[in-house]
């Protein structure tokens, strides 16, 4: 499969165009500025996508069934129930393979088989009562425009008209009661028309038990009973509640929409030395762009200037400007702080740092928390059940106990309004969306409600050492040549064997040799000795570079003392062998992250146990452990880390924090995996959360935010069910009427959403 794209569908079909294969870039891994890949190929240009059959004949026609991926912006959604209504409507559209509505970004993503299906999809969305706008390069999703007073009046024209008509009818009531009743009836019917129309649309689209249906039945029932004032009041309160829900929903999306606004709409492109203003979506890799101080970068790129300062606070949570140097990667959305800069674009459309964060948030929405999944299922039978209860309330007392029909029909209608599950459905996703957005603002990305919920339950955290607790930039500190070798020869030969490795120790050594301008010879028969070191042949000499504990040969007392002394200083030591002869040793030392100790102390205050897992030698690990005040396990192979995490996970909820490929299996084995933002793509893909700015001290804050989100969810569910229960009883007893039932529904929905919005202001 194409490594850059999630899917390239190639099923055979005798009537399809073999070249019309659509690929959608949905899988996002790296959370940093896109770099330049000299080996980059087009979609499905890699060998994984190509046929491996040598007998394939070019002249032979191969037909494939086309698969299209398209996104739309959906307008008119007030809560996750609306998103589910759209998905239900699209299930009835032919040729639709999969449809997913992302409420947080108001985005619909559909996979379908025929080009004509796109129009059917848009029509299905309209039939469900919503509006769909196609998203592409020329029509990207944009941040919301703040409304002026004219547009606000236009949006609320129906509410204002009904309210005005009701006020007029109330004024006329003492003088002309019949005219007043007629005005209330007309007002009610006028307000009911759009609601009833949408109820019919939703019923045809597969959602017969929508709030619009319940409201229409309740209003018509009130009119039948002669309660004209109450019928009109019910509709007015419902419409006001809808507007409040829409407002609350837009506030809940504000964190995500703020990210969308970080990329400017235009950019200054340099062509033949001249400045040309172009749309940001027209930029492509290789273009040179100029940005003035105070402006944001329109794409990821590589800096031309010798140095420049950038404000990346909106992306990483780092409040102070960061210094970047010539050739460094810089991220879309960052603000130029001190001078005019030029840079070369490195990111394709839809693949810059902002896009990757948005994609991760969208991906996160599909990973629902267990409680959210339960409430979704619960809400699907809650409304039909409540409708049956309402019917029973209407029928049983009059038929079995000779009670007046009017009284119990009225109470049944009130119960019908309480049957709407909106407040319950939105209680969890509203809190999770706010929690995810608050985390993103602080430079932490959490992949979904399930991960957010799990993070709040963590009891123990295991850390990788190199690149996680340390900076991951070890420096060569000691070179000792033995048995007739000199230091330069030792460095050159070991660099030859280590050349091409991505291990921090190897890259550090190679850079040192290159900085010394020493020629590095060619090594052959290079081989990684898992958990031990590397081997290779250089200029006819067979070399092995091994950890002292893996050498399996006796050392002299003097040599052992030398190795032990270096390890006691917290250094990592390797022994170099030619055949079976020791020809030298090399030592590196990595430095702790400035905030590592503070991070461990913050976690300890939360009652979370911490431990360091490392493949380094026990003496070096003990030295670093003492500095941090953390337990440790040393000399661990990747599989040893996995086994330890699995054992620990049987006793408590455990997180694994790492940054490298070798950490990925242990992160997968943990209850939740957390990656450092500067880590490998494999680690970031495996992880359930990532710290984009590499500040370990924010890990405790991330956990506190998760705990606050869980508490918020409990509050919301209690509030939603509590209000429903209270007004269920009061409606049955006849204490409250229809309009109070509407307030119970819309008010509860608005309250739980506003309560969830408090998470956006979360402070440690």
For the record, the structure tokens of 704 come out as: 């506190």
Answer yes or no: 464 catalytic.
yes
Strands 581-589 and 475-481: antiparallel
3-state secondary structure of 100: strand
Rounded to the nearest angstrom, the gap between the alpha carbon of residue 338 and the centroid of all alpha carbons in its chain is 32
For the record, the structure tokens of 621 come out as: 């690990």
Strands 523-529 and 689-691: unpaired
β-partners of residue 416 are: none
Strand ranges for 251-287 from DSSP E? 266-271, 274-279
The H or E element that residue 676 is part of is: strand 672-676
For the record, the structure tokens of 678 come out as: 């500067």
Strands 64-65 and 329-330: unpaired
Question: d(Cα 541, Cα 747) in Å, to the nearest integer?
Answer: 80
**Closest-CA residue to 329 (of 683, 657, 46, 677):** 677
Residue pair 346/300 in contact (Cβ under 8 Å)? The answer is yes
Question: d(Cα 199, Cα 751) in Å, to the nearest integer?
Answer: 25
For the record, the structure tokens of 95 come out as: 């040729």
Write down the catalytic residue from 300, 355, 464, 745. Answer: 464
The set of residues, in sequence order, having a beta carbon less than 8 Å from that of 196 and lying 6+ positions away, is 212, 216
Helix axes 80-90, 117-127, angle to 10 degrees: 130
CA 246 vs CA 72, 77, 255, 694: distances in Å: 19, 7, 16, 36
Sequential DSSP letters for 20-80? ---B--------S-----TT---TT-STTTS---TT--TTS---EE--EEEEEEEE---SH
Helix axes 698-732, 370-401, angle to 10 degrees: 10
Return the ∠ at Cα 745 (arms to 743 and 751), rounded to 5°: 85
Rounded to the nearest angstrom, the gap between the alpha carbon of residue 637 and the centroid of all alpha carbons in its chain is 31
Question: d(Cα 721, Cα 175) in Å, to the nearest integer?
Answer: 44
Sequential DSSP letters for 345-409? E---TT-SHHHHHHHHHHHHHHS--HHHHHHHHHHHHHHHHHHHHHHHHHHHHHHHH---HHHHH
Question: d(Cα 414, Cα 700) in Å, to the nearest integer?
Answer: 47
The set of residues, in sequence order, having a beta carbon less than 8 Å from that of 733 and lying 6+ positions away, is none
The H or E element that residue 537 is part of is: strand 533-538
The set of residues, in sequence order, having a beta carbon less than 8 Å from that of 593 and lying 6+ positions away, is 469, 470, 471, 599, 694, 696
What is the number of residues in the chain? Answer: 764
Sequential DSSP letters for 592-653? B-TTHHHHHHHHHHTT-EEEEE-SS-HHHHHHHHHHHT-EEE-S--HHHHHHHHHHHHTTS-
β-partners of residue 130 are: none
Our CA dihedral for 256, 257, 262, 263, rounded to 10 degrees, sits at 110
* Residues catalogued as catalytic: 464
């Amino acid at each position: 499969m194409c490594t850059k794209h999630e899917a390239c569908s190639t099923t055979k079909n005798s009537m399809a165009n073999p070249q019309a294969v659509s690929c959608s870039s949905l899988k996002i891994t790296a959370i940093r500025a896109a770099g330049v890949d000299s080996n980059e190929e087009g979609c499905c240009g890699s060998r994984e996508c190509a046929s491996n059959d040598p007998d394939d004949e070019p002249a032979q026609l191969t037909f494939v069934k086309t698969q299209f991926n398209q996104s739309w912006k959906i307008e008119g959604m007030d809560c996750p129930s609306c998103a589910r209504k759209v998905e239900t409507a699209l299930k009835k559209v032919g040729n639709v393979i999969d449809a997913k509505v992302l409420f947080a970004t108001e985005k619909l993503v559909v996979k379908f088989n025929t080009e004509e299906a796109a129009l059917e999809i848009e029509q299905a969305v309209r039939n469900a009562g919503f509006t769909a706008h196609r998203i592409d390069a020329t029509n990207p999703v944009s941040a919301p425009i703040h409304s002026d007073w004219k547009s606000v009046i236009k949006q609320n024209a129906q509410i204002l008209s009904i309210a005005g008509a009701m006020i007029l009818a109330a004024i006329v009531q003492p003088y002309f009661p019949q005219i007043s009743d007629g005005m209330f009836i007309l007002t009610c019917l006028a307000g009911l028309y759009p609601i009833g129309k949408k109820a019919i649309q939703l019923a045809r689209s597969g959602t017969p038990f929508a709030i619009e249906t319940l409201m229409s039945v309740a209003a018509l029932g009130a009119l039948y009973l002669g309660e004209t004032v109450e019928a009109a009041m019910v509709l007015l309160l419902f419409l006001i509640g809808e507007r409040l829900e829409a407002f609350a929903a837009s506030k809940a999306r504000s964190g995500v929409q703020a990210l969308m606004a970080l990329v400017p709409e235009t950019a200054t492109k340099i062509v033949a030395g001249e400045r040309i203003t172009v749309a940001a979506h027209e930029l492509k890799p290789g273009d040179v762009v100029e940005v003035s101080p105070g402006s944001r970068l329109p794409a990821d790129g590589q800096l031309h200037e010798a140095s420049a300062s950038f404000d990346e606070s909106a992306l990483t949570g780092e409040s102070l400007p960061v210094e970047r140097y010539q050739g460094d990667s810089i991220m879309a959305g960052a603000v130029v702080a001190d001078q005019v800069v030029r840079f070369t674009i490195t990111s394709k459309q839809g693949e810059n740092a902002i896009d990757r964060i948005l994609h991760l948030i969208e991906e996160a929405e599909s990973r629902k928390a267990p409680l959210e999944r339960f409430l979704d299922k619960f809400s699907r039978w809650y409304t039909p059940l409540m409708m049956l209860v309402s019917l029973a309330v209407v029928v049983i007392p009059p038929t079995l106990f000779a009670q007046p029909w009017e009284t119990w029909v009225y109470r049944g209608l009130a119960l019908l309004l309480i049957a709407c599950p909106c407040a319950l459905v939105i209680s969890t996703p509203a809190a999770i969306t706010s929690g995810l957005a608050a985390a993103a603002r602080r430079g932490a990305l959490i992949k979904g409600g399930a991960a957010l919920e799990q993070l709040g339950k963590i009891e123990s955290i295991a850390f990788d050492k190199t690149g996680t607790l340390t900076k991951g930039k070890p420096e060569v500190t000691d070179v000792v040549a033995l048995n007739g070798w000199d230091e330069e020869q030792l460095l050159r030969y070991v660099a030859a064997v280590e050349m091409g490795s991505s291990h921090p120790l190897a890259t550090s050594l190679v850079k040192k040799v290159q900085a010394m301008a020493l020629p590095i010879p060619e090594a052959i028969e290079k081989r990684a000795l898992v958990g031990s070191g590397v081997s290779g042949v250089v200029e006819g000499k067979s070399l092995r570079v091994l950890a002292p504990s893996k050498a399996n040969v006796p050392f002299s007392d003097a040599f052992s003392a030398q190795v032990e002394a270096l390890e006691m200083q917290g250094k990592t030591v390797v022994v170099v062998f030619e055949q079976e002869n020791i020809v030298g040793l090399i030592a590196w030392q990595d430095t702790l992250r400035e905030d590592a100790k503070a991070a461990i102390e913050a976690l300890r205050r939360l009652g979370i146990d911490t431990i360091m897992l490392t493949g380094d030698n026990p003496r070096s690990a003990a030295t670093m452990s003492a500095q941090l005040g953390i337990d440790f396990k040393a000399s661990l192979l990747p599989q040893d880390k996995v086994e330890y995490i699995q054992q620990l996970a049987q006793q408590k909820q455990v997180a694994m924090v790492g940054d490298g490929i070798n950490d990925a299996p242990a992160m997968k084995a943990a209850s939740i995996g957390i990656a450092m933002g500067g880590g490998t793509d494999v680690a970031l893909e495996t992880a359930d959360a990532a710290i984009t700015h590499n500040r370990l001290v924010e890990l405790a804050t991330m956990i506190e935010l998760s705990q606050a989100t869980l508490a918020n969810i409990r509050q919301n569910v209690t509030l939603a069910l509590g209000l429903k229960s209270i007004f269920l009883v009061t409606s049955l007893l006849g204490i409250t009427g229809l309009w109070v039932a509407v307030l119970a529904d819309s008010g509860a929905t608005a309250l739980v959403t506003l309560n969830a919005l408090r998470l956006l202001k979360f402070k440690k």
